[in-house]
Chains A and B, each alone.
Chain A
């Protein structure tokens, strides 16, 4: 059982640290968590406690048919360099042409994150030499990004008690549109670098979250909520394992009342679980470094998921000066709303913010509230339903097809269906038991044709996916409850008859 919530994390990390993998066993360190505002444990030898500060920079790949500035297709795991246009390879004389779909995705995301959308935003060039950046610069939005000043609310449990959930808010500084880079593949044995430009030029939304978080668990919860929002909007598939969502964490610690400490940037985090680990490790490392009289360098560190620690990255030697300048080949990006939309404008050529706003789907928070209200389930169950892709729909389908109360159905969904799926690493869509079959089974239970124990046995049979209906299984395995009074009496009589001595003893007392 994982220990959750800020307070507990430190103990847990410490325990894990002393478990053997970590070369230097760590002492438990005093930590204050500003967000919880609870009692603050004193630091070593009576020093002031530490306040960790965590900010995030998240790159979400835009889900679009073609790239941000070229017509090449966007597709994961295509043969190397098969999705590269002349522009993507930076052939001389080629020019960027902005993809409208990418702009709409960014506007949608900005609106969902309560941002103000800039009606005029600008593109800039950010220069650095790297093999997977063919033009020698990335087109991004440094000066005036498409969306600014938003917020994201997310919830997390305290001390792993599902019943104790708190909702927090992180400010969104900005969302900017920019190009993804290609991929460099280093072949160490032949000491060569191979470049795949399939990803070069794919549209990214960089979401910058202010340093409003204070531990790995909060960072993880915020990213998970963002991921759900992006997936709901369809603006990004946001699958971390496929690099569609990449998270860099800025971490620092300071004493209460003092300015923020020197921060490090942790990269190379490729799952939400590792995000929590990486952030907590880095906080602990910094505290220990400082308590031992050391200093924190403003550096980039990589998370090593095997060792569970962060290590300095050596790729950027010296200070980088990106020599930003305006992208001269793209005019300012102008967006309209109902008020500013010129009457004679071709609707195919403009992006109307209000039009997009009206068509936003229900966001996860709204969906959860609706589930709680409509079905009377617990709020924490609504989180579970939305956290698994397709589970909420599955639940609703079962509810529709059964007489069982939703409050009871949710137990079967979470305790039986979900745990079984997890055990076998299956997604909801891959479930061998359809919502129809589960509803069928639950109906037998409601009509008290079978007992709860028997229902579990039937479910176990259903997992085999042999195409039998619950009723067939009940009959085959003779799991039905006997409803006939006479038959029941006969069975009882038979039992009594076989145990004559015991019956006499009982009668005699």
Chain B
């Protein structure tokens, strides 16, 4: 107990190293916090037994003075569309309910190899198709900020009884479970996936850092695909330094994924930027999109001012084809979805219908029972776009537009701009009851609008939590960098993070649990 006050000042991994806390203690704290925040529905599977075993092994390494590095003993969570050997991988779908993969995704294996402790698998939209984390078979994820002192103080409930049930806000998605898990302190870092904004969007709504690395920097092997040509494993943490640390352990060539870079990746530590005067920050005018809330617009301008005042060059730039990004994405995404989902036929694994009149009727019934309406709708439109008579008209055209969108970015970066600064979302998180008034397709089209183009171009992008909205909910801004220039991107993000001093979430559950570990911003990080 005497050590408590002391280790507050340390970052967690230093505390582990010095024995102020053991991996087992840390793991147990996370596990019990998972239990007390169960109502968030952030986790689909909690891997209590294996997590404690991993923590014990980590503890042994620390005892011998041979920890595996900065991640050793750090509790992490993984979105439930990454394969984990021996632990259920469901994609929040009836199709894969009960499915236990025989192998680990490369990113999962890399985390485990570095001593991380896997506490559980997080909730998502079915097969990552959605922007709310509301459309999974295990129900919607609740944003921890719905239960924060900050939100409760500002939202005025119509009546007291309605309060809890109708006022809670969504996490965004589709990696909402991972964002909620990091935000509610049930783990220190989580993996998400990002195809159109699925890591950055919930990160913005949950007030955490969400990094989408350059396409090809991190292996997709073992990530159950949404759109192979845009999917990237995403990293969710509570601070930029942590994101850099996780990135360092994941990045690099994987012989099992032919789309990863050939070169080896050198992990880096982020410098503390003091001088931003050599930086050129681009403000793409097209991101001033219809529906952008005035609060966020104001915040965006303030951030630009911040850079300008610190001596950076801030210039308005144009990405003229960005406005076609969503419609183009719709064609490419559904086409790949139609193809990727073809394997779920009930034969080799997953759900199989009892219908046995013929192989074809078994396929049809299996897929009808296994997939929700969103997935089936995308399969249907994707197959339509891929028909011989439509292929040129839709798929090829969309690919051409994709090239134009990528070229826009290349031109801007070629003109000397280092980093683009944009909002991540149009507004703060919507209450669940509001959100579900629109269908998934409309929602996805709106919500991906500011994040999607980076996926089209394969560029690295990061959400940095910036401020609280008038309703007391987190708002984030997005930085987009040059391909494979993660170090520059994260360095700038770190500088920005330091300037804005985003407030800590004040959660009753967390307070009750542990005064010391989680309240202090610094101890909330591990790197």
Binding site for B on A (CB under 8 A): 86, 89-98, 125, 127, 129, 131, 134-137, 193, 195, 321-325, 328-331, 349
Contacts and interface: CB of A to CB of B under 8 A. Distances in A.
A129 B388 contact: no
Given A95-B220, A323-B338, A324-B391, A89 B259 contact: no
Contacts of B388: 321-324
B345 interface: yes
Q: Which 10 A-B pairs have the closest CB atoms?
A: A136-B342, A323-B386, A328-B228, A328-B229, A92-B224, A90-B343, A93-B222, A135-B343, A93-B83, A93-B224
B360 A324 contact: no
B387 A323 contact: yes
A322 B388 CA distance: 8
A127 B359 CA distance: 17
B335 A91 contact: no
A129 B348 contact: no
Describe B's contact surface by its main secondary structure.
Answer: loop
Given A97-B256, A134-B343, A328-B229, A91 B336 contact: no
Interface in B325-356: 335-336, 338-339, 341-345, 347-349
Contacts of A127: 339, 342, 386
B258 A329 contact: yes
Nearest to B341: A136
A93 B221 contact: yes
Contacts of A349: 262
23 contacts: A89-B348, A91-B349, A92-B91, A93-B101, A93-B223, A95-B258, A96-B258, A97-B258, A125-B339, A127-B342, A129-B345, A131-B347, A134-B345, A134-B348, A136-B343, A193-B359, A322-B388, A323-B386, A325-B395, A328-B259, A329-B257, A330-B258, A331-B258
A95 B345 contact: no
Contacts of B347: 131, 134, 195
A89 B259 CA distance: 21
Contacts of A94: 221-222
Given A92-B343, A131-B359, A324-B391, 15 more contacts: A89-B348, A91-B83, A93-B222, A95-B258, A96-B258, A97-B255, A134-B343, A193-B359, A323-B383, A323-B387, A324-B388, A328-B227, A328-B336, A331-B259, A349-B262
Nearest to B254: A95
Contacts of A323: 338-339, 383, 386-388, 391
Nearest to B219: A95
Contacts, number: 101
A131 B343 CA distance: 10
Contacts of A135: 342-343
Contact of A136 (B89, B103, B345): B345
Interface of B: 82-83, 89, 91, 96, 101-103, 105, 220-225, 227-229, 255-259, 262, 335-336, 338-339, 341-345, 347-349, 359-360, 363, 383, 386-388, 391, 395
A89 B360 CA distance: 19
B83 A92 contact: yes
Q: Choose among B105, B224, B343, B391 the residue with the greatest number of A CB atoms under 10 Å from its CB.
A: B343
Describe A's contact surface by its main secondary structure.
Answer: loop
Given A93-B224, A95-B220, A127-B339, A329 B101 contact: no
B341 to A, nearest CB: 8
A194 B162 CA distance: 56
B359 A95 contact: no
A396 B83 CA distance: 59
Nearest to A195: B347
A329 B348 contact: no
Contact of B96 (A86, A92, A131, A137): A92
Contacts of B343: 90, 92, 134-136
Contact of A93 (B225, B344, B386): B225
Given A91-B348, A129-B363, A321 B387 contact: yes
A300 B400 CA distance: 37
A275 B207 CA distance: 69
A86 B343 CA distance: 13
Contacts of B359: 131, 193
Contacts of B89: 92
Nearest to A323: B386
Contacts of A137: 339, 342
B221 A95 contact: yes
Contact of A95 (B257, B262, B386, B387): B257
A323 B335 CA distance: 9
Nearest to B225: A93
B105 to A, nearest CB: 6
A93 B228 CA distance: 10
A325 B258 contact: no
A277 B257 CA distance: 47
Nearest to A184: B359
Contacts of B360: 129
Given A91-B349, A95-B257, A325 B386 contact: yes
A200 to B, nearest CB: 10
B386 A91 contact: no
A129 B387 CA distance: 15
B301 to A, nearest CB: 38
Nearest to A320: B388
Contacts of A89: 348-349
Q: Choose among B258, B335, B339, B388 the residue with the greatest number of A CB atoms under 10 Å from its CB.
A: B339
B126 to A, nearest CB: 13
A344 to B, nearest CB: 12
Contacts of A86: 102-103
Contact of A91 (B101, B220, B259): B101
A324 B228 contact: no
Contacts of A134: 343, 345, 347-348
Contacts of B338: 323
Contacts of B221: 93-95
B402 to A, nearest CB: 12
B105 A329 contact: no
Contacts of A96: 258
A329 B89 CA distance: 22
A98 B344 CA distance: 23
Contacts of A91: 83, 101-103, 348-349
Contacts of A129: 342, 345, 360, 363
Contacts of B339: 125, 127, 136-137, 323, 325
A321 B101 CA distance: 32
A321 B256 CA distance: 31
A370 B258 CA distance: 45
Nearest to A96: B258
Q: Choose among A136, A137, A331 the residue with the greatest number of B CB atoms under 10 Å from its CB.
A: A136
A94 B256 CA distance: 8
Nearest to B102: A86
A301 B228 CA distance: 38
A146 B91 CA distance: 37
Nearest to B362: A131
Nearest to A136: B342
Nearest to B387: A321
A59 B40 CA distance: 55
Nearest to B391: A324
A187 to B, nearest CB: 13
A95 B103 CA distance: 13
A506 B336 CA distance: 103
A193 B102 CA distance: 25
A136 B347 CA distance: 11
A92 B344 CA distance: 9
Contacts of B383: 323
Contacts of B341: 136
A95 B391 contact: no
Nearest to A193: B359
A16 to B, nearest CB: 38
Contacts of A90: 343, 348
Nearest to B230: A328
A317 to B, nearest CB: 10
A325 B335 contact: yes
Contacts of B345: 129, 134, 136
